[in-house]
Amino acid sequence: MREWLVAGALVECESGLLLVQNRRRDGSIDWTPPGGVIDPGESLIGGLTREVAEETGLTVHRWSDPVYEIAAHAPDLDWHLRVVVHRAIEWAGELTLADPDGIVIDACYVAHAECTDRLAASPTWVSEPLGCWLEERWDTGRTFRFQVDGVSPSDLRVSRVP
């Protein structure tokens, strides 16, 4: 079973929520909040700060407690994903593309009313929790769990589980 620990960032300004456009290995494109896989031995906040800087050029100086967590389990694909999402409280810098992995191909602040459209091609485990947070605006502590069935990316069935 492959397991990933990922951290995600909610970075907001007057213009909206910061989203990054990703080109995946299969050529597909989606939008997500900035963030990424936490390296072995790296703290979650340290890895999140690094990922945001690499993908956007922004340096976050202070983070909130976790706003929400995502657990996605894909038994047919033999993986489990845990995502911990924090809100950036203080940050500095200019928005620039600097992703050393070459996955992030664009970044911009998106008006909240437009986020749903941008997230349409994103995995359900990304779009649904973020959409709920944009609508309800809680501060800390929600968990979203998903079961991912199927083996082909085009035929995956994602369902939320309690």
Half-sphere exposure of 150 (CA within 13 A, CB side): 9
Residue 126 in tokens: 């990304």
Over residues 56-80, the pLDDT tens digits come to: 999 999 999 999 999 999 999 999 9
Token pair 């997500």 in the structure block, residue: 32
**pLDDT score of 108 more than 90:** yes
Using DSSP, state whether 2 is helix, strand or coil: strand
pLDDT in tens, 2-42: 999 999 999 999 999 999 999 998 889 999 999 999 999 99
Domain segments of the chain as ranges: 2-161
Q: Model pTM greater than 0.85?
A: yes
CATH fit for domain 2-161, picks 3.40.50.720, 3.90.79.10, 3.40.640.10, 3.20.20.70: 3.90.79.10
Report whether 30 contacts 121 (CB < 8 A). yes
